[in-house]
């Protein structure tokens, strides 16, 4: 048992903390308050962060990246999110690719896209799954219903595929240069058997960006519509096999997606707690500090308890995912990444709300920063939703069934 | 005799307001929701219609020309309006509440004779109140005397002829952008004065808050507007107010802004809060009946069904306790004859409703998924409105202190004069 | 006209029961609490007094010789009794409810003429119901037809002369130890039969459950008695019941045991549940006013004050929604005239009360510290009673399914005959 | 970052797991259901556990114990509690002594009592703090009030002290052979300045056992009254200094007391989850397993999430306490042991309740074992109470004040 970071991990943590304090925090609120959802992005912070390695941190060393482990990734995400949840996610969104590419891409694809990604300090990545009528069905498809799940159509045309349809709410949709797009290549069978995953560069003919969604929080992080009108994508951009889209995506077993949001939430919680402790310490009325009041102490206590539980759980899970990546079969089976994401939801909602309570409101005004954290928190409420909560249980119960079937089969 | 039948008038009034909400407010609210909060402006025609329905003067006794509605009817109306748009509800309720306070309490007969006709005849005449600055911790005390140190940002200087010269800037005054008459509490050398000021008085400028500008709040930290109605900034520059406009020679404490008087005041705000919850619930229910995932309408999934059940149970329960408090506000004898226990029912209604609706809005947003957090869709507005009710105008934490003091039998020493 | 005044009779009844509780039940309960649950036996004198107050026949219409109380009064009484002792409340309420069901519904005129005089004149004549076995998951279904597979453990065989021969053992029958008349649902070859059986019928033995013995429940896993009243085991050995005792030729579903009929049934159980919460709260309040820690009475600490405020707010809110449901049970017209929304108010009252009281009892125990978990002090009994209400006789999970089906407009296909 | 156990820790875990399954679990329910609170104890299980080292596990090796680290202690407590919370506590209650003795006792005291403790396999330990009118005041004394806190009086009489008074709710009161008793040696000053800690053997003249408290849970673990009527205790049994009782007690900085209950709670939670998963897996109605129902899946999910968060937090805190014991100053300052105890309260209450929900009740019956776990859970509700929650916050805020005072004093 050892909960400490090694030297390299610690160095990344310090670098991220400094960057969050010196670069992210000073512009966080200002970017948040821009009304036009298209105008919230800031390329300068991306370039600065790229220079420090935050964009490419997760690309394995053999391809020229930093190849940091998942513990480091968790630590860096949390530190950056302490400055701004959306800006942290703008970097970590690119890490998914590193995981997926390692799991599922051909050397040719790696060659074509990784080099550009590493060289261009504004090269951002996105993935297109959600469609207006396909949300939780993508994640928990109902049996054999061919109508359930995403419907974006891809049809073969010689060496190319013709894509038609719309993806919505796509992260980095308006700023990304390369997208992982899930399509239906056989609309008559279910999602699992009839979908294909494509690499689609931004400049693909017939592919354009629609509206940017006007979210109430995570303002810097843009979610947009991707519109495909006879978009032509070369066959060489298929990831995995045709009609093997579900498999291509699930080859990435790091559990990074879940851990990513949990680590991000941890950073936001830290930021809220910092504010609340500072307020309790510094604010006085009639000679009495706010923090002298028992009901404030109880709120602070609840915040601390949830945060330290979350920190413990996030770091343990990150370690588990590293072990899984190194081939530990038991860890590969662990569903803690799902659970930690659910737990982060509880902690994040409660902690940002308690911070608002401690700051209070009066005369119809509220503390700007506390309110931003609350908005950021509820914006990510899809993480840790019902599907997120029941999926791992279904897996665990299925495993119990398989084991008892096995036991029953034995003499 | 215990009886929960509404009168035919109450049912009719509710139907009329529902109709008004469906025809006028909801279409407008959908449009307004796409704007920044501080840029929302209600169309004047809406004011006219609301006023013609009697909503602007709902709480004003009939003898003074108002609708003379009882507290229960006021709560029924406030809830229905807030289902349509909480901002419209807050604006109308503010005027209606202040009208009663002003015309049925603060004004002398002469003053009433002067202002009443204009107020009654002008459908667009709304009211606002500008009092001392407050900050959250004002109400965060328990079992000990209250020391208010909120100061009036507006100063009053008595001129030689008895007129008052007002100076100062006050931020975030509810109803300021729509008010034609403003009740101003100002600090004179020898204590607070309350004056009635017409919005077109020379030397008074009413400004909209710039959404991007961050004014420091009473505690010096940056704050921004976070209320459910419309609010604005009042700038007084040597604004001369005639002596006859002096309506109270001390400060004014509004009953629904806390304090002991709030304990049995009609729970208007709780009723609006309930309306917010209903708006969120009704949208979620409709969506859950339409949206298909997992091969069936999502309402047929146990998890969604359970959430909707919890939502409707909370809302019905909140209405039950709000109506009880509303009725109790008009029937003090029910405490004496043993029909009600000696408890501050309005405070209880406020606490329960705020917690219920907060949870209801979060659940509703959850059912909507990503659409629950889009700025140009109404759901996020409900979530934020619910948070505002939970934390503002006496937070739930402070309301619980007051309730606990009531059950403990704690009698607070009277505050020094001028406490708000 | 909305009116929350109680009638003088209701207030008097409440006072009479409060007085009975203070004089008779509380001193006895304090003594009983020190015993194992299954060894609690109520003194017969208590039965006499309760019956003389009309509590045994409270719900029976006046035309049949009962007190003819309306649902609101029944709830008021159930709450007060449960403040004293939830077991006494459960026992009396079971008899009163079954009396109404039996004499005002199930019996023919001849049968009524036979049993009524004895039931009315014997103050110790209580009633019990022994129906099919059920298990928790009976009610755990949503948006689909209900398939009941609970079987009657008692079999009925028709003798040549038309009498019925009963055989079998049924565990955990509420009121069994005190009942003189038992409504038994038994399985005959061609379907269920409901019979009225006197407790002294030859071939019927009523046994107390041994607290140490663990009977397997309907699902085969070990269970133990976990209800709020008194219960026992019925053993039928060739027990011959005359043909004239057949009171229904099919199974009997009691309204407060779930099902659609429960939606608008009077919320007696919720009222008892509320009484448990009040007992816990009142004890905690009294203790918090006396106990000194940190240099002052603990009620003056913010944390304790906040807890007490939340407790009293929840209890008042629960009462509000219980009374609403009780009144609604007697006034179906209020749904038609728009005074109440079309919702199952009894189900809502049940859900909210169970969750509120559960939290209240845990908080109360917390205030008591170590004394909150001592077997020979009443607080732990309240905690456990609260848990029982939360999970038994339609759990809150299942009640939420029923409520969700109501808001979704789901119409369940009628169950096959004999479903309970 | 390494969340795994080393070989020795793993061996202890396996030994405790086997003991819980083979010895504790079979008698757990039976002991629980005994009506007489005096009669619930079973010396046989104590002897068997002693033989395996569970009673003396924490005694440092140099005194002849096993000297296991705190991570191991946490793991063993959780495993034993999986069998029975009260039986686990019956062993771990003895470990406190090992911590306190290392921190505060003289070599002579160690010599006199440790040897007997190690040699006698029924030698159990207890500590007397609580009195009928002194509960939370002992832990959070109100300033300078000499009336607050425990009042048991000790007066000097030559080489002895005469003790008079009553302690209540004392763990192992009816079965212990040695007690750490907090007394007032100067009743005119506050607790901090006027209290003294004594070692009081069971056979001390004038010292006897009163009633055993009839708790609704933790039935095996007996809490009793200690009655002192002119009890004579030698001066040589004073721990630390006279009037230094507060300090003598606080010399034990392992945070073990807090961690102990959190680790115990973890074991009970594991036991409840096991039951619930088994029920969901095995129980079917109309061809459908209970676990196929979404609402059951959600309850199971909530249980898993809380348990894994708690496990992460407990193990991290145990590691921190080991580091603190090794001299790590930052870890010594950590208040996570308080926080993890608060968190365990939340998890324990919720998980045992969810287990009851999943088992349900019908016809006025409940599953016996599920109900036992619920009773055990609420019996420990004093752990994680208000005092527990506010104390660490007061320490953190005091630290902030000290730091800002320091910063202000600097030029």
Percent of chain C with pLDDT over 90: 65
- What ipTM was estimated for this complex? 0.94
Q: Which domains does chain B have, with CATH numbers?
A: 8-125 (1.10.540.10), 130-248 (2.40.110.10), 260-417 (1.20.140.10)
Task: Say what the pLDDT of residue D380 is.
Answer: 87
Question: Residues with Cβ < 8 Å from D368, sequence gap 6 or more?
Answer: C214, C222, C223, C224, D29
Question: Do strands D160-171 and D153-157 pair parallel, antiparallel, or not at all (unpaired)?
Answer: antiparallel
Task: Say what the pLDDT of residue C183 is.
Answer: 95
Task: Say what the pLDDT of residue C147 is.
Answer: 64
CB contact under 8 A, C300 and B352: no
> What is the rounded distance in angstroms from the CA atom of residue A129 to the CA atom of residue A168?
8
pLDDT in tens, C293-347: 888 899 999 999 999 999 999 999 999 999 999 999 999 999 999 999 999 999 9
Q: Given B10, B302, B313, which is nearest C348 (Cβ)?
A: B313
Question: Do strands A178-184 and B179-188 pair parallel, antiparallel, or not at all (unpaired)?
Answer: unpaired
pLDDT in tens, B267-285: 999 999 999 999 999 999 9
pLDDT in tens, A82-104: 999 999 999 999 998 777 777 78
CB C90 within 8 A of CB C271: no
> Which residue of chain B has the CA closest to D298?
B303
Residue B333 has pLDDT above 80, yes or no: yes
Residue D220: exposure state from Cβ atoms within 10 A (0-12, 13-18, ≥19)? buried
Instruction: Please report, for residues C185, C194, C241, C243, D187, the alpha-carbon distance to residue C249 in angstroms, rounded to integers and kept in the order given.
Output: 10, 6, 14, 11, 78
Task: Say what the pLDDT of residue C34 is.
Answer: 61
> What is the rounded distance in angstroms from the CA atom of residue D30 to the CA atom of residue D41?
11
CB B388 within 8 A of CB B380: no
3-state secondary structure of D285: strand
User: Which residues in C lie closer than 8 A to residue A293 (C-beta atoms)?
Assistant: 302
User: Which residues in D lie closer than 8 A to residue C231 (C-beta atoms)?
Assistant: 364
- Of C21 and C250, the structure prediction assigns the larger pLDDT to C21
Percent of chain A with pLDDT over 70: 97
Residue B376 has pLDDT above 90, yes or no: no
D342: closest CA of chain C, how far (Å): 14
A277: left (phi over 0), alpha (psi -120 to 50) or beta: alpha
CB contact under 8 A, A312 and D315: yes
> What is the rounded distance in angstroms from the CA atom of residue A343 to the CA atom of residue A383?
10
Q: Which of A55, A53, A57, A49 is nearest to A22 (CA)?
A: A49
Task: Say what the pLDDT of residue B420 is.
Answer: 36
Q: Which domains does chain D have, with CATH numbers?
A: 7-124 (1.10.540.10), 126-248 (2.40.110.10), 256-400 (1.20.140.10)
User: Which residues in D lie closer than 8 A to residue A350 (C-beta atoms)?
Assistant: none
B254: closest CA of chain C, how far (Å): 23
Question: Do strands D125-128 and D178-184 pair parallel, antiparallel, or not at all (unpaired)?
Answer: parallel
pLDDT in tens, A298-307: 999 999 999 9
Residue C286: exposure state from Cβ atoms within 10 A (0-12, 13-18, ≥19)? exposed
Q: Given D148, D371, D382, which is nearest C295 (Cβ)?
A: D148
Chain D interface, best mutation among C257, C307, C369, by max D CB count within 10 A: C369
- Span A315-336, average pLDDT: 93
Task: Say what the pLDDT of residue A155 is.
Answer: 96
How many residues in total does chain C contain?
420
CB contact under 8 A, B134 and A363: yes
Question: Residues with Cβ < 8 Å from D107, sequence gap 6 or more?
Answer: none
Question: Do strands A207-212 and B164-174 pair parallel, antiparallel, or not at all (unpaired)?
Answer: unpaired
Please indicate, yes or no, whether the overall pTM of this predicted structure exceeds 0.80: yes
User: Which residues in C lie closer than 8 A to residue B308 (C-beta atoms)?
Assistant: 404, 407-408
Task: Say what the pLDDT of residue B255 is.
Answer: 52
CB contact under 8 A, A378 and B365: yes
> What is the rounded distance in angstroms from the CA atom of residue C223 to the CA atom of residue C213?
10
Q: How confident is the model at residue B418 (pLDDT cuts 50, 70, 90)?
A: very low
> What is the rounded distance in angstroms from the CA atom of residue D400 to the CA atom of residue D387?
20
Q: How confident is the model at residue A250 (pLDDT cuts 50, 70, 90)?
A: low
Q: Subunits with at least 3 CB pairs below 8 A relative to chain C?
A: A, B, D
**What is the DSSP code (8-state) at residue A60?**
-
> Which residue of chain D has the CA closest to A303?
D339
Q: How confident is the model at residue C420 (pLDDT cuts 50, 70, 90)?
A: very low
Residue B257 has pLDDT above 60, yes or no: no
**What is the DSSP code (8-state) at residue D114?**
I
User: Which residues in C lie closer than 8 A to residue B336 (C-beta atoms)?
Assistant: none
φ/ψ (deg, to 5) at A229: -125, 100
> Which residue of chain D has the CA closest to A334?
D308
Task: Say what the pLDDT of residue C413 is.
Answer: 78
Task: Say what the pLDDT of residue B213 is.
Answer: 52
Q: How confident is the model at residue C228 (pLDDT cuts 50, 70, 90)?
A: confident
Ranked by mean pLDDT, the top range of B246-260, C238-252, C285-299, D342-356 is D342-356
Residues β-bridged to residue B303? none
Task: Say what the pLDDT of residue D363 is.
Answer: 64
Q: Among all chains, which residue has been given the structure tokens 């925090």?
A: A25
pLDDT in tens, C134-181: 777 778 889 988 766 667 899 999 999 999 999 999 988 889 999 999
CB contact under 8 A, D291 and A397: yes
- Of D68 and A139, the structure prediction assigns the larger pLDDT to D68
> What is the rounded distance in angstroms from the CA atom of residue B282 to the CA atom of residue B80?
12
φ/ψ (deg, to 5) at C164: -115, 135
3-state secondary structure of A309: helix
Residue B258 has pLDDT above 50, yes or no: no
Q: How confident is the model at residue C418 (pLDDT cuts 50, 70, 90)?
A: very low
pLDDT in tens, A177-229: 999 999 999 999 988 889 999 999 999 999 999 999 999 999 999 999 999 99
CB contact under 8 A, A298 and C303: yes
Enumerate residue ranges in chain D where pLDDT < 50: none
B298: closest CA of chain C, how far (Å): 11
Residue A253 has pLDDT above 70, yes or no: no
pLDDT in tens, C168-206: 999 888 899 999 999 999 999 988 899 999 999 999 999
Task: Say what the pLDDT of residue C419 is.
Answer: 38
């Amino acid at each position: 048992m050892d909960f400490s970071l090694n030297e390299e991990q610690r160095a990344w943590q310090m670098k991220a903390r400094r960057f969050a304090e010196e670069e992210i925090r000073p512009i966080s609120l200002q970017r948040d308050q821009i009304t036009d959802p298209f105008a919230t992005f800031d390329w300068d912070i991306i370039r600065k962060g790229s220079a420090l390695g935050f964009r490419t941190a997760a690309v394995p060393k053999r391809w020229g990246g930093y190849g940091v482990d998942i513990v480091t990734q968790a630590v860096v995400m949390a530190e950056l999110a302490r400055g701004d949840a959306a800006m942290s996610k703008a970097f970590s969104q690119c890490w998914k690719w590193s995981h997926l590419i390692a799991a599922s891409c051909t050397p040719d694809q790696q060659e074509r896209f990784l080099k550009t990604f590493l060289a261009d300090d504004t090269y951002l990545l996105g993935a297109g799954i959600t469609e207006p009528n396909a949300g939780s069905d993508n994640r928990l498809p109902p049996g054999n219903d061919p109508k359930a799940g995403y419907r974006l159509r891809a049809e073969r045309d010689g060496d190319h595929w013709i894509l038609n349809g719309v993806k919505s709410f796509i992260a980095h949709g308006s700023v990304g240069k390369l997208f992982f797009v899930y399509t239906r290549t056989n609309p008559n069978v279910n999602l699992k058997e009839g979908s294909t995953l494509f690499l689609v560069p931004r400049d693909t003919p017939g592919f354009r960006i629609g509206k940017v969604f006007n979210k109430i929080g995570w303002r810097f992080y843009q979610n947009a519509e991707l519109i495909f009108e006879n978009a032509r994508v070369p066959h060489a951009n298929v990831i995995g096999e045709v009609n093997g889209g579900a498999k291509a995506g699930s080859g990435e077993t790091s559990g990074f997606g879940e851990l990513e949001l949990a680590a991000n939430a941890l950073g936001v919680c830290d930021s809220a707690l910092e504010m609340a402790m500072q307020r309790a310490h510094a604010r006085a009325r009639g000679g009495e500090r706010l923090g002298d009041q028992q009901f404030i102490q109880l709120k602070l206590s609840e915040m601390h308890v949830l945060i330290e539980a979350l920190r413990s759980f996030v770091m343990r899970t990150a370690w588990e995912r590293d072990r899984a990546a190194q081939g530990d079969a038991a860890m590969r089976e662990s569903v803690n990444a799902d659970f930690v994401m659910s737990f982060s939801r509880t902690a994040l909602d409660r902690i940002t709300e308690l911070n608002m309570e401690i700051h209070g409101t009066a005369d119809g005004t509220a503390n700007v920063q506390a309110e931003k954290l609350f908005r950021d928190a509820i914006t990510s409420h899809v993480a840790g939703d019902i599907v997120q909560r029941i999926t791992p249980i279904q897996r665990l119960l299925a495993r119990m069934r398989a084991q008892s079937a096995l036991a029953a089969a034995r003499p | 005799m215990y009886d929960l039948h509404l009168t035919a008038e109450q049912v009719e009034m509710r139907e009329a307001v529902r109709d008004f909400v469906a025809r006028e407010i909801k279409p407008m609210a959908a449009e307004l929701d796409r704007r920044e909060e501080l840029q929302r402006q209600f169309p004047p025609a809406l004011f006219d219609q609301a006023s013609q329905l009697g909503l602007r003067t709902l709480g004003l006794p009939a003898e003074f020309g108002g609708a003379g509605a009882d507290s229960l009817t006021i709560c029924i109306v406030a809830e229905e309006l807030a289902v349509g748009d909480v901002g419209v509800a807050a604006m109308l309720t503010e005027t209606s509440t202040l009208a009663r306070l002003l015309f049925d309490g603060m004004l002398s007969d002469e003053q009433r004779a002067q202002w009443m006709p204009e107020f009654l005849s002008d459908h667009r005449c709304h009211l606002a109140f500008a009092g001392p600055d407050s900050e959250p911790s004002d109400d965060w005390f328990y079992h000990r005397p209250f020391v208010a140190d909120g100061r009036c940002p507006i100063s009053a200087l008595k001129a030689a002829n008895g007129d008052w010269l007002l100076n100062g800037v006050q931020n975030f005054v509810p109803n300021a952008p729509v008010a034609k008459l403003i009740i101003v509490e100002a600090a004179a050398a020898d204590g607070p004065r309350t004056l009635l000021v017409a919005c077109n008085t020379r030397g008074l400028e009413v400004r909209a808050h710039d959404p991007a500008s961050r004014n420091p709040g009473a505690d010096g930290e940056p704050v921004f507007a976070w209320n459910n109605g419309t609010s604005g900034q009042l700038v007084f520059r040597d604004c001369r107010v005639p002596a006859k406009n002096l309506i109270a020679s001390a400060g004014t404490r509004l009953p629904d802004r806390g304090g002991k008087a709030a304990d049995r005041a009609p729970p208007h705000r709780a009723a609006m809060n309930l309306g917010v919850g209903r708006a969120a619930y009704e949208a979620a229910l409709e969506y859950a009946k339409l949206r298909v995932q997992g091969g069936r309408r999502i309402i047929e999934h146990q998890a969604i069904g359970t959430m909707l059940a919890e939502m409707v149970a909370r809302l019905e329960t909140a209405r039950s306790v709000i109506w009880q408090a509303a009725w109790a506000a008009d029937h003090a004898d029910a405490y004496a004859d043993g029909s009600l226990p000696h408890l501050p029912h309005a405070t209880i209604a406020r606490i329960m409703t705020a917690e219920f609706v907060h949870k209801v809005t979060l659940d509703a947003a959850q059912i909507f998924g990503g659409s629950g957090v889009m700025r140009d869709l109404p759901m996020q507005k409900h979530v934020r409105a619910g948070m505002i009710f939970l934390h503002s105008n006496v937070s739930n934490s402070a309301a619980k202190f007051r309730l606990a003091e009531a059950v403990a039998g704690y009698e607070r020493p009277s505050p020094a004069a001028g406490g708000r």
